[in-house]
Amino acid sequence: MKKIVLTMLVLTFALMTACSQASKPASPSSSPNPSPSGGASASPTAKPEGELPKVAFVYIGVPGDGGWTFEHDKGRQMVEETFGIEATVVENVPEGPDAERVFEELAQDHDLIFGTSFGYMDPMYNVAQKYPDVKFMHATGYKTLPNLATYQGKGYQPGYLSGLAAGMLTKNGKIGYVGAFPIPEVIYTINAFTLAAQSVNPDVEVSVVWSNTWFDPATERQAAISLLDQGVDVLANYQDSPAGIQAAQERGVWGMGNDSDMNRFAPETYVTNPVLNWGPYYVDVVQSVIDGTWETHSFYGGFKEGMVEIAPFGKNVPQEVKDAVEAKKAEIQAETFDVFAGPIYDQSGAEKVAEGAALSQEDILVMNYFVKGIKGTIPQ
């Protein structure tokens, strides 16, 4: 008797576990709409001519991360409000074979699929070849097909503005930066940050440690504390978790996060940080699919295109800092100022960009060196 009860219990457990695991990627969080084009939920504002496309979003995390996925999800909401459609959302899709399965399933009954993580590149590339009629949009990748386009925000532009604020706020010239992974996206943002800080405070020193995580609050906190113990008085973080700025606030040190407005985590000492604003672009893409004008592309959006923004300033940031940042933002927006204009020297002092020249978009995307004034190493 006991054996039977036991077997049943273990089976129940196994089943519950299996469900709690499998149902996450498989079941869309916002109810899957069997007929999004049915017109029942048509928006009163926009009534496009063509049939409304069925749109899906695939996320690496959950919208509740308060960072990367949170911002993509805001873009998704904007699409839904603009067109009155209901998009399918699949959360927590790990990069790898699972992703390929998810994209393949979605491709069978959707017209347009957004994949919002770098690691979806190969799965999307494979599935896109099998479904030529479905449009695939991949964030931060570099492989394209006639039906697979890529898009990315110019994170170094708001990164430069954060650095400007940091350079003005530091009193002892010591700034800390907790990098996520030593990849170009992070490296060029830290470089832009440092160049800006130096532009207002030439002696400033930016110390970088790598957490080698995107999302591990406890480790990121430890990394932040190692910098705080060195006496930095401004601390920037590239990860999605607010652990670093929370640690900074405990010491009364200015803090900056990434990807999203993080005011609420450290209201006293928060400065600002880069924010990616995907909504307007997502709306354009959906509109082009409706109009039948969609073509493959590699899109890099900066302030001019409205894809990047800086978060609202923390309440204790001095007015002069806000003014300086806003002024520089206007210059970047008007393209009268280039973040990576020469002269730029690397850590060894070798000239990387000559006076009067500037880095091209291609050069920026493969940046693998730190500029002069950064204390830290890029593991090779």
Q: Catalog residues that contact another protein under the rule CB under 8 A.
A: 2, 5-6, 9-10, 13-14, 16-17, 19-21, 24, 61-62, 64-66, 70, 92, 182, 207, 209-213, 215-219, 221-223, 225-227, 229-230, 241-243, 246, 264-265, 375-377, 379-380
Tokens of 323: 């003014």
Smallest separation, CB 108 to another protein (Å):
27
Smallest separation, CB 373 to another protein (Å):
14
Q: Which is nearer to another protein, 236 or 243 (CB)?
A: 243
Q: Which is nearer to another protein, 148 or 271 (CB)?
A: 271
Smallest separation, CB 2 to another protein (Å):
6
Q: Are the CB atoms for 202 and 170 separated by under 8 Å?
A: no
Smallest separation, CB 338 to another protein (Å):
30
Smallest separation, CB 247 to another protein (Å):
9
Q: Which is nearer to another protein, 157 or 241 (CB)?
A: 241
Q: Which is nearer to another protein, 182 or 302 (CB)?
A: 182
| Of 251, 214, 211, 150, the residue nearest 376 (C-alpha) | 211
Q: Which is nearer to another protein, 12 or 361 (CB)?
A: 12
Q: Which is nearer to another protein, 69 or 147 (CB)?
A: 69
Q: Which is nearer to another protein, 13 or 142 (CB)?
A: 13
Residue 50 CB-density burial (10 A; 0-12 exposed, 13-18 middle, 19+ buried): exposed
Smallest separation, CB 26 to another protein (Å):
13
In the chain, beta strands by DSSP E: 55-58, 88-90, 112-115, 135-139, 148-153, 174-179, 205-210, 234-237, 254-256, 274-276, 298-301, 308-310, 344-345, 351-353, 374-375
Q: Distance between CA 96 and CA 121 in Å, rounded?
A: 10
Q: Are the CB atoms for 315 and 267 separated by under 8 Å?
A: yes
> Coil, strand, or helix at residue 140?
coil
Smallest separation, CB 9 to another protein (Å):
6
| Of 156, 163, 183, 178, the residue nearest 368 (C-alpha) | 183
Smallest separation, CB 66 to another protein (Å):
3
What DSSP string describes 221-275? HHHHHHHHTTT-SEEEE-SSSTHHHHHHHHTT-EEE-SBS--GGG-TTTB---EE
Q: Distance between CA 7 and CA 22 in Å, rounded?
A: 22
**Across the chain, which distance is largest between two alpha carbons, in Å?**
85
Q: Which is nearer to another protein, 242 or 302 (CB)?
A: 242
